Each structure stands twice: as C-alpha cells, then as structure tokens.
Amino acid sequence: MNIKRNILLNPGPSTTTDTVKMAQIVPDICPREQEFGGLMKGLREDLVRIVHGDLEKYTSVLFCGSGTINIDVCLNSLLPEGKKILVVNNGAYSTRAVEICEFYGMPHIDLQFPVDEQPDLEVVEKTLKENPDIALVHTTHNETGTGILNPIREIGALAHKYNAIFTVDTTSTYAMRPINIEKDNIDFCMASAQKGLMAFTGLSFVVGNRAIIEKSKDYPKRSYYCNLFLQYDYFERTGEMHFTPPVQTIYATIQALKEYWAEGEEAKWARHTRVFNAIHEGLDKLGFKDVIKRELQSGLVVSVIYPDDANWDFMKVHDFCYERGFTIYPGKISTTNTFRLCALGAIDEDDIQAFFKVFEEALRTYNIAIPAKY
Ligand SMILES: *Cc1c(COP(=O)(O)O)cnc(C)c1O
C-alpha cells in the first residue's frame, strides 16, 4: 500500500512510519480474549521500561482518551481528603491542570511564573514550607505551548523534602528526551501514544509508583471513569482495561515500541536534536525569532514570533505548506502572536530542509520580507 507521507510539525499527533500505520490492520478481535490481554501486559511493562522504572516499584495504567485524561486521572485520584495540590505553572498545560482542580473543586495553589522563564525554586520551596497541607505537586516537563523545559528533578526533590508526591506532565517529552523516573524524582509521569512513541491517538497512560496507587484506594473518589486505582486494580486482577480499549491503537503502539527499542533511546534523542537544530538553522537563515531563550528550550518545540510585516498571514503560509505536505501549527501564548515548529515524529533533518524550501517559497509568494522584519 502506498500511503502519502505528511510531515507534521505540530506538537502531536506526529508523523508515523508506514509499518506503524499498517500494524492497525489486523483480524477483528474481541479485546476480552486472552490473546489481547497478553499483548497489553507486555505493553504496560515496556511503558515503564522507557523511563527506566523498576517493574516491582513502578507500573503503568492505560486509559482510552487523549493526553489530558492523564492529568485529570492523576490529580483527581491522588489527592487525600483535606489536602491541597500545588501546581507549578509557567504555561498552558499547567494551566490546564489548574482548571482540572477547579472543576473538581479540589483545594489548590496556582503558583504562576512567566511563560518564558523557568519557575523560581526558592518561591516553590517557600510555598511548600508555608503550606504543610500540600500533598501533591504537579508541573509540566516541556511546556508544549512555548517549548520551555522545566527543572523537574529539582522540583521533585523539593516536593519530596516536604512530604508531597510529584506528578509530572511528560506528554511532550516521554520517549523523546531521556527520563529516569527514579533519578528525576518523579512519582507519576504520563504520555499518549501519538506523541513521542509515534503511534496513534486514543491511548494514554500514566506511569508511576505502585505503592502510592495502592494507598490511594481510600482517597476520595471524584470520578468514575477516570480513577487511577480502579483502573489499576482492574488491570491487576484481570489483565484487561476496565472498559473497551482502543484496540487498533494498541496494535500500532506495540509496533511503535518495537521500533523504539530498535532505534534506541540515545539515537532517537539524537535524531530529534538534529531535527530541532535544523529547525533553528532554517529560521535563522530567514531571520525569524523565537520566544524562549535557546538555553531554556526543551529541544522539541520552537515557538516563533510573527514577523512585523503587513503581508504576514499565518493561515496563508500554513495553507501553502499544508498543500505541499507540511503541517505547521499556531502558538499558545496569549500575550504574543506565535506559531510552532516541533521536532516530534518519524522525521529527520532532510525533512526539515525540504520544509524550509517550501516555507521560503510561501514567503516569496506572499511578498513577506526575507529576512523577516521585527
Ligand atoms: C499534547 C499534550 C497533552 C495532551 O493533549 P491532548 O490534546 O489531550 O492530547 C498534555 N500535556 C502536554 C504537555 C502536551 O504536550
């Protein structure tokens, strides 16, 4: 089969290989059959291995949903009665976590920092010291809206110093930037199959500390469908997901994991870094500027400032590129107009070079100044 190859530079879903695409085409199967349960057991263990977790201490729990389901699950399931959540917030995805706290009416502190700066660890520590009822600290590893990388190991150490657990939204770093769950002081991290794993939408998962999940059995139940203990317990007892799993996505994810191990953690990260550097090179050549200081960037997302040019029209440039097989994506910063180019997916630097040829052609077609005006 000949499937058109699109280069996705949006922050997920990402470009997939043909072998992962084809892995979805399987004979019909009822996911309650033992054969399918066996597949999920291996998958769950692999998801723990990716973050170098000890399989005795850590486990993974699968959910059918987009990545946001993981944030919802972790926050609503892991907060004991009478305690508080601290969200270390410097971007759109941590703001989403704050909104989840608001929706469930869970006591929380929204500790805000500028979107283009890393959180001030002294302020984080002071907040923990002044609020001994904080039982859960949450932050985002790579704020995908801007591409800033947060110092999770340091924030995790502070959380543990003040007896709180640490949950991290690693949706846009997992299986890309190497993570070591234990050394990085993470109790729970999370991702979706369509991002770093380069598979499809519909499967999300939380990787975390088994003992803490077991302890959460008696915590307030705030959701039926999105409860971590209930899903974990069902898996442990039956090997199955409580409700219907995304069957085809699971087949594709198992193939994607084979390809992940074949490529290797270091080689994969080196490839994403090559792509990221090629994005910067292309932007530099055309005079475009990015929002976040280079040394604070996660190496996966570049947030580009709109040029100060009357002819600049993001949608026109987008459509021009889209028609030629390249997808670029709007930004997510309320105060600055930006667009994003991301280094996710089964792509390499030659794809980025091909993209910049098309992007430059778009600029010339619409009389947008080169170098870009600011
Ligand atoms: C993609 C992403 C999510 C999940 O978003 P969905 O639209 O629900 O898939 C969550 N957190 C981060 C940091 C992300 O990049």
Ligand 1 centroid distance, CA of 146 (Å): 13
Q: Where are the alpha helices (DSSP H) in the chain?
A: 18-22, 34-50, 68-77, 92-104, 121-130, 152-161, 210-215, 228-238, 247-263, 265-285, 314-323, 349-365
Q: Give the atom of ligand 1 at the shortest distance from the alpha carbon of 192.
A: 9
Which residues is 240 bridged to in the sheet?
A: none
Ligand 1 centroid distance, CA of 190 (Å): 10
Ligand 1 neighbour 66 (Cβ under 6 A): yes
Ligand 1 neighbour 93 (Cβ under 6 A): yes
DSSP state of 290: B
Choose among 67, 118, 120: nearest CA to 93.
Answer: 67
Most informative mutation of 88, 142, 171, 204 for ligand 1 (most atoms within 8 A of CB): 171
Query: Measuring from atom 3 of ligand 1, which residue has the nearest CA?
Result: 67
Ligand 1 neighbour 255 (Cβ under 6 A): no
Query: Measuring from atom 5 of ligand 1, which residue has the nearest CA?
Result: 67
Q: 210-263, pLDDT tens digit by residue? A: 999 999 999 999 999 999 999 999 999 999 999 999 999 999 999 999 999 999
Q: Which residue has the tokens 């990221």?
A: 276
- pLDDT score of 336: 86
Ligand 1 neighbour 144 (Cβ under 6 A): yes
CA 267 centroid distance within chain? 19
Ligand 1 neighbour 11 (Cβ under 6 A): yes
Q: Both tokens of residue 45?
A: 């263990």
DSSP state of 336: S
Rounded Cα–Cα distance for residues 245 and 65 (Å):
9
Quote the mean pLDDT of the chain.
Answer: 97
Ligand 1 centroid distance, CA of 171 (Å): 6
- pLDDT score of 355: 98
Ligand 1 centroid distance, CA of 217 (Å): 27
Q: Where are the alpha helices (DSSP H) in 192-264?
A: 210-215, 228-238, 247-263
- pLDDT score of 334: 78
Q: Which residue has the tokens 């723990």?
A: 48
Q: Which residues contact 251 (CB under 8 A, 6 or more apart)?
A: 23, 24, 26, 39
DSSP state of 99: H
Q: Is the pTM of this model over 0.95?
A: yes
Ligand 1 centroid distance, CA of 67 (Å): 5
Ligand 1 neighbour 67 (Cβ under 6 A): yes
Q: Give the atom of ligand 1 at the shortest distance from the alpha carbon of 144.
A: 15
Ligand 1 centroid distance, CA of 98 (Å): 14
Ligand 1 centroid distance, CA of 204 (Å): 10
Most informative mutation of 66, 94, 179, 205 for ligand 1 (most atoms within 8 A of CB): 66
CA distances from 18 to 25, 363, 371 (A): 12, 31, 37
Ligand 1 centroid distance, CA of 259 (Å): 23
Q: Which residue has the tokens 């608001």?
A: 102
- pLDDT score of 372: 97
Ranges of residues in the chain whose predicted pLDDT is under 70: none
For 352, list phi and psi in degrees, rounded to 5.
-70, -40
Helix (H, G, I), strand (E, B) or coil at 191: strand
Q: 152-190, pLDDT tens digit by residue? A: 999 999 999 999 999 999 999 999 999 999 999 999 999
Ligand 1 centroid distance, CA of 1 (Å): 31
- pLDDT score of 78: 98
